[in-house]
Chains A and B, each alone.
Chain A
């Protein structure tokens, strides 16, 4: 088996973990206090979903603003308030859709493959917009 790797004019891109986001010093203020959920009024629990909208971030191709829904310190959903109602749907809807695939990614170590197809998340603008949205959670 022969293998050759040829790099043409390479561009350096930064890789930023999205779903791996954890609470850090960038969340202003202390950690959100977690109180035990009560059966009386679960909607007032600190673990009920809260939404935060970040600033609109300008970048080369336009602008992006992100709204995050968080449960505790965990991001459960992201959406884009500036997009049309169609685009901010959080689910793919199609009359011929097959069951939604799990959003769990497979770890590379558990797989065997010969080649890779795909794109990875590298956008600084997205990270800034997301940071801005999550930063609201600390207020």
Chain B
């Protein structure tokens, strides 16, 4: 889906074996793109959307993803909606899910201390337990200032997902008002794993300036938003992750 993925591994080990593991991750991520991208005419998702195939004809994971999408849609009062733009587009969940899956596989394959960054959504493992013995430091890119950052957060383990409205041309549609969201620039959610954290960031963005009230209800998640004017808001617990930023 036009995403750059970076993988940072702290576990010590032989380069050829690590190269092999990363190659497997890359192959899998390409498969995810080929299967789920609504912009690839031959993907299962695109063909499903055009009515050329049924869910039963698709790879089994397509059905699983669409079930996850439906659960998230219910949980977010419809603000996460893979059909909000008029076509089937589950990327708001698939991106986080694919990185989460890759991270779990990489840990099981013998590389438990790593950070995987897929287009700005990050899954972290190891941190303080890694050979380097310090948390992973995640820079949150400022949505309105080139090369600027709004904060740096630190985690040993968990997920950081950021959704922005301006990234691909106001592509986030509020499914209830049926208009693009323009009043919020970016939302960052920190949580225990990336599939749901990415989904929550995506849904929150669609809520626009109504998101803070909903984000505050998410147990085990902390959030941070910047509106179109550059003003910020955060859940009370977000501050404990900040390594740098205003007032620190």
A residues near B (Cβ < 8 Å) are 1-11, 13, 15, 17-20, 59-62, 64, 77-80, 83-84, 86-98, 100-108, 111-126
Contact = CB atoms under 8 A, between A and B. Distances in A.
A123 B216 CA distance: 29
A118 B146 contact: no
B4 A120 contact: no
Which among A59, A90, A116 has the highest number of chain B CB atoms within 10 Å? Answer: A116
Nearest to A110: B244
B9 A2 contact: yes
B183 interface: yes
Given A80-B183, A115-B138, A117-B161, A6 B5 contact: yes
B166 to A, nearest CB: 4
Interface stretch (B22-30, B43-51, B63-71): B22-30
Given A87-B183, A94-B212, A115 B18 contact: no
Contact of B6 (A4, A59, A104): A4
A4 B111 CA distance: 14
Contact of A77 (B124, B142, B146, B229): B229
Interface residues of B, number: 88
B169 A123 contact: yes
Interface stretch (B53-61, B75-83, B114-122): B114-122
B103 to A, nearest CB: 12
Contact of B228 (A4, A78, A100, A102): A78
Contacts of A90: 227, 229, 231
A64 B180 CA distance: 9
28 contacts: A1-B132, A6-B7, A17-B145, A59-B170, A61-B173, A78-B229, A87-B182, A87-B208, A91-B231, A93-B209, A94-B212, A94-B213, A95-B213, A96-B212, A100-B232, A101-B231, A101-B245, A103-B226, A103-B231, A106-B148, A108-B147, A114-B136, A115-B122, A117-B117, A119-B166, A121-B146, A123-B169, A124-B169
A96 to B, nearest CB: 5
Interface of B: 1-10, 15, 18, 22, 26, 29-30, 33, 85, 115, 117, 120-122, 124, 132, 136-152, 160-171, 173, 177, 179-183, 185-186, 188, 208-210, 212-213, 216, 225-236, 238-239, 244-247
Nearest to B124: A115
Contacts of A113: 137-139, 149, 152
Nearest to A77: B229
Nearest to A5: B6
A62 B209 contact: no
Given A92-B212, A98-B236, A125-B170, A19 B8 contact: no
A84 B177 contact: yes
B110 to A, nearest CB: 13
B141 A118 contact: yes
Given A10-B2, A116-B120, A19 B145 contact: yes
B8 A114 contact: yes
Contacts of A124: 169
B146 A120 contact: yes
B169 A60 contact: yes
